[in-house]
Amino acid sequence: MTSTPVQALHGIYLGLLAGVIPALVSFGFGFLFRYVTGLSVPAFGVVVLGVALAGVNGGFLAFADPTITQAANSTTLVVALLVVAMLTFYTHSVGDKMGASLPRRLSLKSLRERTLHTDAIEFVGGRNEVTVSVVGGVRDLEGYPPLPESLRTSIHDAEWRFPADLPLSELETRFVDRLRSDFDVEEATVTVDEHGRATVAAAPPAAGVSKRTPVGKRAVSVPALVPTGIARGDDVSVLAGEERVDGTVVSAKSGTKPATEPTAPAAEEAEEAEPAATPAPTTTGGEGRVTVAVQRPEAESLLAADRTRIVVRARGTRREYELLGLLRRGGQRVRRLTLRADAPVVGTTLGEANVRETYGITVLAVRHDGSWTVAPNGDVALSAGDELFVAGPRRELDAFEEVAK
């Protein structure tokens, strides 16, 4: 009869030989599941599967199987079973760690975020754009009154242009926002397919000026010499005699036509020319009326005035927007994200993480315990829950966000 040490060595050899395929399968399960979903598959289940793949019926139940425990070479079989189990456990752990640390280009989230087909994308003015066309007519939204035919036709015939690098979900959201801002619809739903074809359902405006007037303010319409180019949302000052009242424009009209309606010659030219994006309604200048949202006490003084003057207040230049514009023209983007607990950079410093070389991005600021550190150096520690402002190309930012957020 073969001695126990020899049987143990034979079992190790047999376990290594039989455990190759189960180890590869365990590594693949651990890596792919963590890489795609961000979650860890239970190690015990993978080990049982690996033992079963080695040809041992019942997996761990083989330790109680009389055909193994009472066999003449039981020591060899039990040792081989243990070796296979340890191999699968180890390779699953390695695969899980690799799936967590490797920058991800694929996730269930990205699979859900469909993008446009290349045939629908146009290169216009140095960037990729898509013209979304409304197909099948504009439908009524269930539970709301029907759309007026004129509004239905205007929505259908308008040109809808958007950046082509957006996922379809974001494209649909922006389409709905444009419907609300350009046509003042009460509610809308939009579905866009990969070829840039949109199915639209909308509800007519439930109210006009009252809906656009902020809570706690009053809308007052005053006659005035209206400056050219006033649009809804502009900040203006209304001069009534010696009194000055600041407010926000909710509607404006100058000349003989409202700002929202083009004159007849302009409409004829629009039919002959190529379609253009629907602009925000603005005044053409001249005698007219402006409706402004003001505080309640100031509304009374404006109502008592016979004649007013309108002064448009400048909102100033936002330098941060200029910086963002320069970054975008250079192919860079800025993104804000929060580190999750199991992010590979958590528990290290910026110098140790070496995010610039590893991920191709730059950390502009770090928020830890409620305080921001701008232009942090390599000694700044990163912890779970820290907020980061990072800059870099879109692809690298997406990869870092999949790993860290």
Residue spans of the domains in the chain: they are 4-101, 118-203, 214-312, 319-404
Hey, which bits of 111-216 come out as E strands?
A: 121-124, 127-134, 139-140, 160-163, 187-192, 197-203
Compute the distance between CA of residue 153 and CA of residue 183 in angstroms, rounded to an integer. Answer: 12
Distance between CA atoms of 141 and 180, rounded to whole angstroms?
14
Q: Is the dihedral of CA 102, 105, 110, 111 positive or negative?
A: negative
pTM value is 0.35
Q: Which tokens in the block code for residue 102?
A: 């490797």
pLDDT of residue 104: 55
Sign for the CA dihedral angle at 273, 276, 281, 285 comes to: negative
d(CA 266, CA 279): 13
One pLDDT digit (tens) per residue for the chain, 405 residues: 567 777 778 768 776 777 778 888 888 878 887 777 777 777 777 777 777 776 665 455 455 556 665 566 667 767 777 888 888 888 888 888 887 776 555 554 554 456 777 777 787 666 788 889 999 889 998 778 888 899 999 999 998 988 887 788 888 888 998 898 788 788 899 998 888 899 999 988 866 666 667 777 888 888 888 888 888 888 889 988 888 889 888 888 886 444 444 433 433 333 333 333 344 467 887 888 888 889 888 888 888 887 788 888 876 555 555 666 677 777 788 888 899 888 889 999 998 988 888 888 999 999 988 888 988 998 999 998 899 999 998 888 888 888 887
Length of the chain: 405
Question: What is the pLDDT at residue 260?
Answer: 43
335, containing H or E segment:
strand 333-338
Q: CATH fold of 118-203, please?
A: Ubiquitin-like (UB roll) (3.10.20)
Under CATH, to which class is 319-404 assigned? alpha beta
Per-residue b or e along 151-164, where b marks 16 or more CB atoms closer than 10 Å to that residue's CB: bbeebeebebbbeb
Nearest partner of 196 among 137, 123, 132, judged by Cα: 132
Beta bridge partners of 293: 219, 248
- How far is 41 from 32, CA to CA, in rounded Å? 10
